[in-house]
């Protein structure tokens, strides 16, 4: 097998490459690639269960994944049934604009119509689509650090560079400093509650930023993918404010609380003009025929959502108590369904702790790949009680011999 690090083309020696020994030659593919695409580095994520299985010898299904913060109960049974029933429709194209799902979601929020909604192949698709549609040459996007890494990749893919706002020790956005950095930018990405810090942006700060952005024609891409795990979700969401803020785009996902992670489906809410731009520029049939009915059923299954929120709230309290017993852990009470922990005092790096945990079949998120963080932060999802007990026991064991 070829060494994986070996470059495909030796750019310095050959100006043409021969393929398959057939005498067909052409310029090296590398030389044909757009510069911004050459610069792209894939973003690192949690949930690398398959890599972890290869490394440890566990089967992927034997690994307990605390690195991915999704519904520990999995999706609604009704959603799975809907996906199964839709199997007999896969011979036809799906509805390209997911109209039925848009209608269902719109009727859930007062003052919204389906024209305020776009459905996507995972919410990540909308980060890329939004940056591609709105960032013109030379324009800047402001991104807090640390936060979800795909905002940066989406900006870089357009050929433009992000401007970072370091949150500093407080891991909160200082409104005045942030507003100073906003001057002259075209687009701001915000994540509420934030991944990986699990903290909400205080409402007064969020509104202050939105008003300031509106006054300067700055677009705000507000990722609320984890907000459904927060008790006061309805009052904290900015969905109700899209008419007041024509510069606002709110992101939601079926990956997190709905647990339809592998079906890849998310959505965005904004004024009709923004939605029209995105609907025109997205690829056709972006959301498949199983995901659309599954999402409708999941959205309507309020009992499953209530059960999930009850479990998360109880287990968050239990985990908070248990994790507080580790004297070498520093963390704040989480707002979302995951804990963000500074482990520097343990004497281990996040990578070292991750590998000790993996030997026990448990995957945690080493956060050192997040821009703005050092190698001493981990992220842990809230799961079921039995799973959380296993986590705590494995952490105790991993830290015993430090």
Between 224 and 315, CB nearer to ligand PLP = 224
Between 285 and 318, CB nearer to ligand PLP = 285
Least gap, CB of 222 to ligand PLP (angstroms):
11
The answer to whether the bond into 294 is cis (omega within 30° of 0) is no
Q: Contacts with ligand PLP in 327-386 (CB under 6 A)?
A: none
Q: Contacts with ligand PLP in 250-269 (CB under 6 A)?
A: 253, 255, 266
User: How far is residue 346's CA from residue 355's CA, in Å, rounded to a whole number?
Assistant: 15
Least gap, CB of 253 to ligand PLP (angstroms):
3
Cβ–Cβ < 8 Å for 126, 323: no
User: How far is residue 239's CA from residue 251's CA, in Å, rounded to a whole number?
Assistant: 9
Task: Give residue number: closest CB to ligand PLP.
Answer: 122
Least gap, CB of 94 to ligand PLP (angstroms):
18
User: How far is residue 374's CA from residue 89's CA, in Å, rounded to a whole number?
Assistant: 48
The two tokens of residue 367 are 């956060």
Least gap, CB of 24 to ligand PLP (angstroms):
39
Considering only CA atoms, which of 260, 282, 252, 299 is closest in space to residue 97?
282
Cβ–Cβ < 8 Å for 250, 270: yes
Between 171 and 348, CB nearer to ligand PLP = 171
Q: Contacts with ligand PLP in 118-157 (CB under 6 A)?
A: 122-124, 148
Least gap, CB of 126 to ligand PLP (angstroms):
8
Between 255 and 292, CB nearer to ligand PLP = 255
Least gap, CB of 12 to ligand PLP (angstroms):
39
User: How far is residue 49's CA from residue 52's CA, in Å, rounded to a whole number?
Assistant: 5
Number of helices followed by number of strands (H, E) in the chain: 14, 14
Task: Tell me 147's DSSP state.
Answer: S
Least gap, CB of 148 to ligand PLP (angstroms):
4
Task: Count residues binding ligand PLP (CB under 6 A).
Answer: 11
Site string for ligand PLP, 187-226 (x = CB under 6 A): ----x---x---------------------------x-x-
Between 94 and 122, CB nearer to ligand PLP = 122
Least gap, CB of 121 to ligand PLP (angstroms):
8
Could you tell me which stretch among 14-22, 116-124, 233-241, 355-363 binds ligand PLP (CB under 6 A)? 116-124
The answer to whether the bond into 21 is cis (omega within 30° of 0) is no
Give just the sign of the alpha carbon dihedral 89, 90, 93, 95: positive
Q: What are 208-211's contacts with CB under 8 Å, separation 24+? A: 208/175, 208/179, 209/173, 209/175, 209/178, 209/179, 209/182, 210/238, 210/241, 210/245, 210/247, 210/248
Could you tell me which stretch among 91-99, 117-125, 234-242, 391-399 binds ligand PLP (CB under 6 A)? 117-125
* Sheet with 338-342, side-by-side order of all strands: 338-342, 377-381, 365-366
The contact set with ligand PLP (CB under 6 A) reads 122-124, 148, 191, 195, 223, 225, 253, 255, 266
């Amino acid at each position: 097998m070829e060494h994986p690090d070996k470059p495909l083309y030796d750019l310095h020696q050959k100006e043409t490459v021969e393929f398959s020994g057939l005498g067909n030659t052409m310029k090296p593919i590398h030389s044909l690639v757009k510069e911004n695409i050459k610069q792209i580095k894939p973003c690192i994520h949690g949930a690398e269960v398959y890599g972890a299985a290869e490394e440890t010898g566990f089967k992927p299904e034997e690994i307990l994944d605390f690195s991915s913060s999704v519904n520990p109960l999995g999706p609604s049974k009704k959603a799975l049934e809907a996906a199964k029933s839709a199997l007999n429709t896969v011979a036809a194209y799906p509805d390209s604009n997911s109209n039925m799902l848009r209608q269902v979601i719109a009727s859930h929020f007062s003052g919204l119509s389906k024209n305020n909604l776009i459905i996507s192949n995972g919410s990540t698709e909308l980060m890329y689509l939004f940056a591609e549609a709105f960032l013109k040459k030379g324009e800047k996007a402001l991104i807090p650090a640390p936060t979800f890494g795909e905002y940066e990749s989406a900006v870089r893919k357009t050929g433009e560079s992000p401007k970072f706002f370091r949150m500093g020790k407080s891991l909160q956005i200082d409104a005045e400093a942030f507003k100073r950095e906003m001057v002259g930018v075209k687009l701001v990405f915000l994540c509420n509650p934030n991944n990986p810090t699990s903290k909400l942006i205080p409402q007064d700060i969020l509104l202050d930023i939105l008003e300031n952005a509106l006054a300067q024609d700055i677009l705000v891409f507000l990722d609320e993918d984890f907000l459904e795990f927060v008790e006061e979700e309805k009052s904290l969401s900015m969905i109700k404010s899209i008419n007041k803020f024509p510069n606002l785009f709110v992101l939601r996902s079926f990956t997190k609380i709905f647990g339809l992670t592998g079906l890849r489906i998310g959505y965005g809410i904004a004024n009709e003009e923004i939605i029209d731009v995105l609907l025109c520029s997205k690829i056709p049939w972006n959301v498949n025929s199983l995901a659309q009915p599954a999402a409708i059923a999941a959205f309507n299954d309020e009992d499953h959502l209530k059960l999930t929120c009850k479990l998360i709230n109880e287990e968050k309290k239990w985990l908070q108590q248990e994790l507080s017993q580790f004297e070498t852990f520093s963390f704040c009470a989480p707002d979302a369904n995951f804990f963000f922990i500074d482990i520097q005092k343990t004497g281990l790096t996040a990578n070292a702790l991750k590998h000790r945990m993996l030997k026990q079949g448990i995957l945690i998120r080493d956060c050192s790949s997040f821009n703005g963080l050092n190698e001493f932060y981990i992220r842990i999802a809230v799961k079921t009680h039995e799973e959380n007990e296993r986590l705590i026991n494995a952490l105790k064991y991993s830290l015993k011999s430090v």
